Amino acid sequence: MSPDRTFPLVPATPRRHGARVLLPLIVAGTALLGATAAQADTTVELSAEASRTAPNDLARASVFTEASGATPGEPGKQVNAKLAEALRLAKSYGAVQVQSGGTQTYPTYGKNGKVEGWRVRSELQLESADPAAMSELLGKLQGANLGLGALSFVPSPSTRAKAEDAATEEAIAAFKERAKRISATLGQPYKIKQLSVSSHNRMPGPMFRMAAPMAADVASAPMPVEAGQSQVTVTVSGQIELDK
């Protein structure tokens, strides 16, 4: 039987080669992330706006009549009679569009808190692209004891669309000019990444509300009005991307 052989213990060799392999991988990965970040495009937000003046060539008005009575039926008859006469008068003006508005019936209360009567109110809505016709009609309606609920002047849809189109073109051109300046200053080419367009009226037409009925001899004359102008403003905002 062979004698037992003893083998010397050899200390384990540290796995330095593993560390030497892993470290370059970490460094390489970090360098890759840094290169990716350095190559990322820059996004810049900017906006531009332009305005165009539009004539207020559309008049809108509401007129009303009211009556009170002990029962709802009594003032209702009075209001209906006045409204029928107002409709007949308004329809005689071909340049004015007319339609019935809202009608309200509500109780009136005495000092004791109990219902002591009823009040009825009804309206007509008017619209016209002829300010002179609207002015004359309003004078006659006030002479017929109808009150003026509201009067306003705005650009008609077609007039507003023309002003808005022109302002949009100008605002987009201004946006592109700003983008070019930024691009030239930074020495980097650009492309438009996102764009939005919005518009609004900065200067609405004059408005009048809740004028009481006038005496017939005063209100039969055309109502003096001045349509004026509105300013249509278009804002273009968005993002551009600068290439590295």
pLDDT in tens, 173-212: 999 999 999 999 999 999 999 999 999 876 544 455 444 4
Q: Is the dihedral of CA 207, 209, 213, 214 positive or negative?
A: negative
Distance CA 100, CA 21 (A): 87
- In 3-state terms, the chain is what percent helix, strand and coil (to 5)? 35, 40, 25
Question: Which residue, 157, 195, 159, is CA-closest to 176?
Answer: 195
- 59-154+205-227 folds as Alpha-Beta Plaits (3.30.70)
- When mean pLDDT is compared across 15-29, 31-45, 69-83, 200-214, the lowest value belongs to 15-29
SS3 148: strand
Q: Are 126 and 136 in contact (CB under 8 A)?
A: no
pLDDT-based confidence at 228, cuts 50/70/90? confident
Which residue ranges does the chain devote to CATH 3.30.70?
59-154+205-227
- Res. 31: pLDDT tops 60: no
Structure tokens at 3: 């004698």
For range 126-131, the mean pLDDT = 94
Is the pTM here over 0.75, yes or no? no
Predicted confidence band of residue 244 (pLDDT cuts 50, 70, 90)? confident
As a whole number of angstroms, the distance between CA 225 and CA 128 comes to: 13
The predicted model gives 107-118 an average pLDDT of 91
pLDDT at 26: 42
Which string of b and e fits 133-163 if b means at least 16 CB within 10 Å?
bbbbbbbbbbbbbbbbbbbbbbbbeebbeeb
Lowest mean pLDDT among 90-104, 118-132, 153-167, 219-233: 219-233
> Considering only 153-157, 174-178, 220-224, which range has the smallest mean pLDDT?
220-224
